[in-house]
Chains A and B, each alone.
Chain A
Amino acid sequence: MTVRRIRRRAPLSAALVALTLGATACGGGTGGVADQGGGGDTLTLWHMEQPPNRVEAWQALIDRYNETDPEFPVEQQVQDWNQIYTKIAGAVQSNTQPDILFTIPDFTTYVRPLGKVRPVTDVVEELDGEHRYIEAATAPYTDEDEVWAVPMYGMVQMLWYREDLLAEAGITEAPETWEDLLAAAEAATGDGRSGIALPAGKNLATDQVIYSFMLTNGAGDFFTEDGQPDFDRPEVVETFEFYDRLMEFSPPDSANYSWGEPQAAFNSGAAAMAIEKGQYLMPFEEESGRPAEDLGCAPIPQPADGGQPGSIYYSNAAMVLSEDDARAEAAEDFLAWLLQPENYGEFLNAEPGLFLPLTEDGVEAESWTSHEVITTYRDCVDQMLEQSRSGALFGFVGGQYVDEIGNISGQNVLAQVIQQIAVEGRDPAEAVAAGQQMMLDAVQG
């Protein structure tokens, strides 16, 4: 080939390589698995709790377990929620899945069809006998008469408010109803401050806050008995109308908010209220510069007429995916060890206040209750435990087990509906109808 011909073809070759590289990156390949999972003499644990304090706390616990000289020592590998769907599929295909994979209910419905999840019914029954699980812990992992993951800790949403900022606005009582909440948000808005900071980006944070309000309005169960979406209902529309009204008192760029932005606004004093889980407790004093007494908490406000207590609540659990029985048994032993009251508190206090106990003896475990954050905010912690009793999760309400819920939550349909209303100005009834169609498409594939 002459130099001239090479010169002629060089741009085309460069173009082909560049576009092929990009295209294959977008393609249907299963991707590489950087951190290979199970195998060897260690049990591999994958979890998605990335904050360093959580990783360090769990590593300390794992080190302590490994000092007991188990047959299979445990090694944790931290994963990313945004990548775990790809990674676990690739790992299962290449038989390098972890022995233990932490999960939430809808993620379990995604992983089970991959074919490696082992039922853990026997060990969960044993643990229930020993520690007495609360009912909501195991229900979302129970399907086809088997339990598919060992429940480890719970999470529930609350209304968080700045007592100092609400007092400035003349509000002395925590909002109990939707109307109270709107009034408080309006009163606290002004002078560069927002009454409430709400997420409205296309993400799970938005889904969850909206769902908490849906529960309080009796719209938490939006599936028929045979698992088909039943979303287009008046109470759903009402909830989205309410959320849209509330967003008037949220920062103007809320349409791009996820987990972090409302908390930052709340702690910096740029917003007086927020709705989230217990991760607000630990950093409050340091980040806000205010005393712990200024952090108020209350159950999710409900409609004055016909409302009911409710909040999104779900147990996080651990699936066992070991290839052979010996490793599976060792994985179960490790999980059982974690749930022993003397260890459980240390496990939960990786993020005190966010990770709530799921067992009766865990609630009373000194290893949990003695933590400074728990003692400082004991009233809020108790309220969270109480709120947990009325908590639920979409797709798993009242014993449901919707196999395709992962398809719906994965696409953030609830967040997409509020974006249509708040960003595009679409009529709530139309947006909810569009959401119904999105859910049908997601379920039918």
Chain B
Amino acid sequence: MTEHVVIVGGGTGGTVLANDLADRLEPELDAGDVRVTLVNDDPDHVYKPVWLYVPFGQREPDDGRRPLDDLVDDAIDLRIDRVSDIDTEAQRLQFRGSAPPVSYDYLVLATGSTLEPDQIPGLTEDGHNYYSESGATDLRDELLEFTEGDLVLSVIGTPHMCPAAPLEFVFMADDWLRERGLREDVDITYTYPIQRVHGNPHIAEWARPIMEERDIQVETFFNAESVDPEAETITSMEGTELDYDLLVTIPPHGGIDLIEEAGLGDDGWVDVDKHTLEAEAADNVYALGDTADTGVPNAGSVAHYQAGVVGQRLASEIRGRPATATYDGKTLCFIETGMDAASFVEFDYENPPSPAPPSEKLHWSKLAYNESYWLTARGLL
């Protein structure tokens, strides 16, 4: 009997896992003992870290897109479609339209994050972001016309994709405006929901003095409640009101509704064992990347490492052996500290991050990795 593995989501986690399984289970796939299907609702794979550079004119959104068909091993069945229902009792997926349901033996959910700006009144009308292709290009156009006034970067949603990106944006904006001779005419303010500038205390402790040196104002305990596009103000639940001329936000994030509807977790995040990545509420279901509620950052490196763990566990289970691979919380991030310098952090569940001194070498390492990312997606790096 053929065992069927279905991966839902063709982002970093889903794509790396599909190619990992194509390699790891090659004999079983060749023999027809195993079938792996990757489902994605877009024919393209999108590499989101490119978006940080779009507002500064250094990348185009197309630099972050490639057809999944070019990236995924031919041994994988690629299905461009959208799942409309997950039945974990019957181990069956329904698709939009009238397509027949599909049964699975193992299901991996890698559906990622979506933006939910409508949660904050006024945000859709006047808040810019670099967390989508259209947001990043719109922000590029705004920045090119922005020569003076208040630039406010407000982190609203947590957890959000790439926790380092808000710090990177203000560091890059500071540098970019200095290079253009505009910094003296622009005030930059950074807001964060808790009492420090980043969720991780070690990164916050490292970043705060850099922000002071660079004259980046900080508002902590700032949880945006509403935006008034006419008055150009953003107000927090804590009662602080900030004027802005250009508002950039990290909008609220959520997972897809299907996950909550399937009883797998709240807000679209799957409750998992943070070591095995197995869903707590259903058998034979895994989640990885942003979708897995592990408490680690929503970052591509996390999805990449978790895909390796899930790949090993699935191969063990399919071969009738005990699954022993576990995820230890490993996370790697480069953090841009300007237009030509970056830091780097590596941490896991047990060992906290210790940011490296910013250098040009690390900046080029980040850019070099972004270029070679396509090897990661193919399962080669």
Q: Is B one of A's binding partners?
A: no
Please list the residues of chain A having a beta carbon within 8 angstroms of any beta carbon in chain B: none
